[in-house]
RNA sequence: UGGGGAGUCGCCAAGCGGCAAGGCAGCAGGUUUUGGUCCUGCCAUUCGAGGGUUCGAAUCCUUCCUCCCCAGCCA
């Protein structure tokens, strides 16, 4: 991707890097993005990806992609593949630096033996419950395990037998020998290896013991020559352990761990566990459901990589817990889509408009620019005829104040076509308006007149006879609560916005018959849409990425207030 | 009431002793064949609170308050 040459607002991590560079502590910035392949990546990961890869790009350094795959019972190859696709789609490249913590298993094992030989680790047979009680509490120190003072030889023998599969799962673990009375809980002899007789997606059945995160991560960083190991705030408590392990081992270098606040977004759940539940319980159609905050979901929804990167740039990086307003994300998407989406016409909630003075069988082909603000984008031709579909919401029987769309006696412009004046409307027995009658002014072909007439309203439309039927999926936030993550003891099913997905049968202009999945357009006056993979030839399916801003809605709200 | 972090505009966020950047949202106008875009203007005498140091403090010291994280053989 292109090098970041524009000035970025500073943040505490850039300040640290600047200092390290000028002090000569760091020659070349080397970061890494270390996902665990136990789920799909979400916007929160996007923030981390942009931070790690972005920092490397900006400082002419490098960034590795490393899978933290030390817990085979939760990890799958499907996730490994999806994660790589998502990082690439976001616009980042790890070149030949694709790594897996599992590639270091043998090396890690040797380091564990090194710890044992030096009296810094021991095999402990306390079971889970005993471990917990020996650990003490937040305010009381723990007490030493009865197995803590075994000799290195004894421990080495036991650990080798663990590796050989002589013990059952849970029978024992390897623990770092640190300090059971440390006020830092994670320093109270943390487990660093446990027995798991589970098939690993990459190492198969080679191992029945697997290293824990704290042991694996710092060593992996050191082996790869990482200079700045950036992670989220909850690992701040682990930093003393990160440093302790590296200090006890003959590793090639000692990376600096730096913690930043993870991203929270209003109306959005960011916990992988809960996202998994949404998928498994069937509340959404899958990890790439367009309502999901996953990168895959957002991609399907129509978000662009540029907009996501811009968003990550604008939210900044700091250490204070924060929750970003969803409108900022929407702003970033609109900003990019506005500059890159061709405009086309689609009527989502149709009502018939009959041009009573237009010839019965006549069909005109009108030239319609794909983007009037930039004619270089070219145009297509759109059929116009006596019977059209227009948006139900563009007609008001009562002609409210400040309303300049269609209403009895009012003249509006049909974009690219003619000025029309509403003469009449037809209601059904239930009292609903079902058809609108209007007359057109033939002198306004193309949608313009030079007589200085003031026509404030411009409507989009589709010729009824030529209109193409399309399915349109309208999305709203998946959750009604602005902070779903903080809601306790309420099942997901009750938290979901019942209107998060509304499927509508729309009429779209015929030029859209052959669009390819992934194609993005703006439906004039309505919003930005992206063609879904579910589309069939001649029967497209559109996902609404984001609506256009609607200032009439605000005016109307004030009028009604 | 152990330890580790954080508190600057409704939401993010710069600032690191010299007198409160920027963005989003909001508000008021202008332009407009999208009530979109774009453009213009407004939007923290104040930085969690109280003391103190200083000619001068959001920035230093101090006391207090609030919030987040840690007691997985998860990451």
Q: What is the mean pLDDT of residues A110-114?
A: 98
At residue A3, does pLDDT exceed 50?
Answer: no
Tell me the Cα Rg of chain A. 31
pLDDT over 90 for what percent of chain A? 96
Dump strand ranges (E) for A358-467. Answer: 364-369, 379-384, 387-391, 411-414, 419-427, 433-441, 458-459, 462-463
pLDDT digits (tens, 9 = 90+) for A442-476: 999 999 999 988 899 999 999 999 999 999 999 99
**Per-residue pLDDT at A560:** 86
Active site residue A168: no
**Per-residue pLDDT at A267:** 98
DSSP secondary-structure letter at A61? -
Would A2 be classed as within a structural domain? Answer: no
B38: residue with closest CA to C1': A373
Q: What is the mean pLDDT of residues A36-60?
A: 98
Tell me the ipTM for this assembly.
0.97
In degrees, to the nearest 5, what angle opens at C-alpha A57 toward C-alphas A56 and A58? Answer: 95
Active site residue A262: yes
Examine the domain organization and report whether A416 and A514 are in the same domain: no
- CATH (domain of A167): 3.40.50.620
DSSP states along A214-248: HHHHHHHHHHHT-SEEEEEGGGGGGHHHHHHHHHH
Q: Residue A334 is inside which H or E element, if any?
A: helix A326-340
Examine the domain organization and report whether A480 and A429 are in the same domain: no
Would A153 be classed as within a structural domain? Answer: yes
Q: What is the mean pLDDT of residues A255-266?
A: 98
Asked if A128 CB < 7 A from strand B, the reply is yes
pLDDT digits (tens, 9 = 90+) for A124-170: 999 999 999 999 999 999 999 999 999 999 999 999 999 999 999 99
pLDDT band at residue A332 under the 50/70/90 scheme:
very high
3-state secondary structure of A343: strand
**Per-residue pLDDT at A7:** 67
Nearest to A543 by CA among A560, A561, A526: A526
Examine the domain organization and report whether A280 and A235 are in the same domain: no
Question: Residue A230 CA to nucleotide B8 C1', Å?
Answer: 25
B8: residue with closest CA to C1': A320
3-state secondary structure of A541: strand
3-state secondary structure of A547: strand
Q: What is the mean pLDDT of residues A192-207?
A: 98
**Per-residue pLDDT at A6:** 54
Examine the domain organization and report whether A396 and A518 are in the same domain: no
Residues 270-309 of A with CB under 7 A from strand B: none
Q: Which of A208, A225, A260 represents a domain boundary (last residue)?
A: A260
Question: Residue A233 CA to nucleotide B1 C1', Å?
Answer: 25
Beta bridge partners of A437: A354, A424
**Per-residue pLDDT at A210:** 98
Nearest nt by C1' to A417 Cα: B33
> Which residues, 6 or more positions from A394, have their beta carbon under 8 angstroms from its beta carbon?
A405, A406, A412, A457, A459
Examine the domain organization and report whether A490 and A550 are in the same domain: yes
- Among A2-11, A72-81, A212-221, A465-474, the least confident range: A2-11
C-alpha A352/C-alpha A61 separation (Å) is 60
Examine the domain organization and report whether A363 and A449 are in the same domain: yes
* Range(s) of the domain holding residue A487: 272-342+470-560
Total domains present in chain A: 3
Examine the domain organization and report whether A160 and A301 are in the same domain: no
Nearest to A161 by CA among A125, A129, A204, A203: A125
CA distances from A252 to A21, A223, A377 (A): 19, 6, 55
**Per-residue pLDDT at A4:** 37
Examine the domain organization and report whether A333 and A372 are in the same domain: no
Mean pLDDT score across all residues of chain A: 96
**Per-residue pLDDT at A1:** 35
At residue A46, does pLDDT exceed 80?
Answer: yes
pLDDT band at residue A242 under the 50/70/90 scheme:
very high
CA distances from A309 to A47, A98, A333, A355, A381 (A): 8, 22, 10, 47, 35
Residue with tokens 């939210």: A315
- CATH (domain of A306): 2.40.240.10
Query: Rounded to an integer, what is the distance from CA A275 to the centroid of its chain?
Result: 12
C-alpha A289/C-alpha A555 separation (Å) is 33
Q: What is the mean pLDDT of residues A79-91?
A: 98
Examine the domain organization and report whether A251 and A283 are in the same domain: no
Examine the domain organization and report whether A321 and A198 are in the same domain: no
Would A7 be classed as within a structural domain? Answer: no
Examine the domain organization and report whether A332 and A356 are in the same domain: no
pLDDT band at residue A488 under the 50/70/90 scheme:
confident
Residue A268 · residue A477 · CB < 8 Å: yes
Residue A381 · residue A363 · CB < 8 Å: no
Q: Which of A438, A460, A482 represents a domain boundary (last residue)?
A: A460
Residue A29 · residue A16 · CB < 8 Å: no
Asked if A338 CB < 7 A from strand B, the reply is yes
Question: Residue A557 CA to nucleotide B62 C1', Å?
Answer: 51
């Amino acid at each position: 991707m292109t090098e970041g040459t524009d000035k970025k607002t500073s943040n505490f991590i850039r300040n640290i890097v600047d200092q390290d560079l000028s002090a000569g502590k760091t020659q070349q910035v080397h970061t890494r993005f270390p996902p665990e392949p136990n789920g799909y990546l979400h916007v929160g990961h996007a923030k981390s990806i942009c931070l790690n890869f972005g920092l490397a790009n900006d400082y002419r350094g490098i960034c590795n992609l490393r899978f933290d795959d030390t817990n085979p019972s939760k990890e799958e190859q499907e996730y490994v593949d999806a994660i790589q696709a998502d990082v690439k789609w976001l616009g980042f490249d790890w070149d030949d630096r694709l790594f897996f913590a599992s590639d270091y298993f043998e090396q890690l094992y040797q380091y564990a033996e090194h710890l044992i030989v030096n009296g810094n680790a021991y095999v402990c047979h306390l079971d889970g419950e005993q471990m917990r009680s020996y650990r003490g509490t937040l305010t009381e120190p723990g007490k030493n395990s009865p197995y803590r003072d075994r000799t290195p030889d004894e421990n080495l023998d036991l650990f080798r037998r663990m590796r050989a599969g002589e013990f059952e799962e849970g029978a024992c673990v390897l623990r770092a020998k640190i300090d059971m009375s440390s006020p830092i809980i994670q320093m109270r002899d943390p487990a660093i290896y446990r027995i798991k007789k589970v098939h690993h997606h990459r190492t198969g059945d080679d191992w029945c013991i697997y290293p824990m995160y704290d042991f694996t991560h710092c060593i992996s960083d050191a082996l790869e020559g990482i200079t700045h190991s950036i992670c989220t705030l909850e690992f701040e408590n682990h930093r003393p352990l990160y440093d302790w392990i590296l200090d006890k081992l003959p590793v090639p270098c000692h990376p600096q761990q730096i913690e930043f606040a993870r991203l929270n977004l209003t109306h959005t759940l960011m916990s992988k566990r809960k996202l998994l539940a949404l998928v498994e319980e069937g509340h959404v159609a899958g990890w790439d459901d367009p309502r999901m905050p996953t990168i895959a979901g957002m991609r399907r929804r129509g978000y662009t990589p540029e907009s996501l990167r811009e968003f990550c740039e604008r939210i900044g990086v700091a250490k204070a817990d924060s929750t970003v307003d969803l409108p900022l994300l929407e702003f970033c998407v609109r900003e990019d889509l506005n500059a890159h989406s061709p405009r086309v016409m689609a009527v989502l909630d149709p009502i018939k408009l009959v041009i009573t003075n237009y010839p019965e069988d006549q069909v005109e082909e009108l030239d319609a620019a794909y983007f009037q603000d930039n004619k270089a984008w070219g145009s297509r031709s759109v059929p116009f005829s006596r019977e059209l579909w227009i948006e139900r919401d563009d007609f008001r029987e009562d002609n409210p104040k400040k309303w300049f769309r269609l209403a009895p006696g009012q003249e509006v412009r049909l974009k690219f076509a003619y000025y029309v004046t509403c003469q009449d409307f037809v209601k059904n027995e239930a009292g609903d308006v079902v058809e609108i009658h209007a007359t057109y002014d033939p002198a306004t072909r193309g949608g313009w007149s030079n007589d200085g007439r003031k026509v404030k309203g411009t409507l989009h439309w589709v010729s009824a006879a030529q209109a193409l039927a399309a399915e349109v999926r309208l999305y709203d936030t998946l959750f009604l609560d602005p902070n779903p993550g903080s809601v306790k003891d309420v099942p997901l099913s009750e938290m979901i916005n019942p209107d998060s997905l509304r499927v509508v049968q729309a009429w779209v202009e015929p030029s859209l018959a052959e669009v390819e999945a992934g194609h993005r357009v703006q439906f004039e006056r309505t919003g930005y849409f992206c063609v879904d993979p579910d589309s069939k030839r001649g029967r497209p399916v559109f996902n609404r990425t984001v609506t256009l801003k609607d200032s009439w809605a605000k005016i109307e709200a004030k009028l009604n207030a």
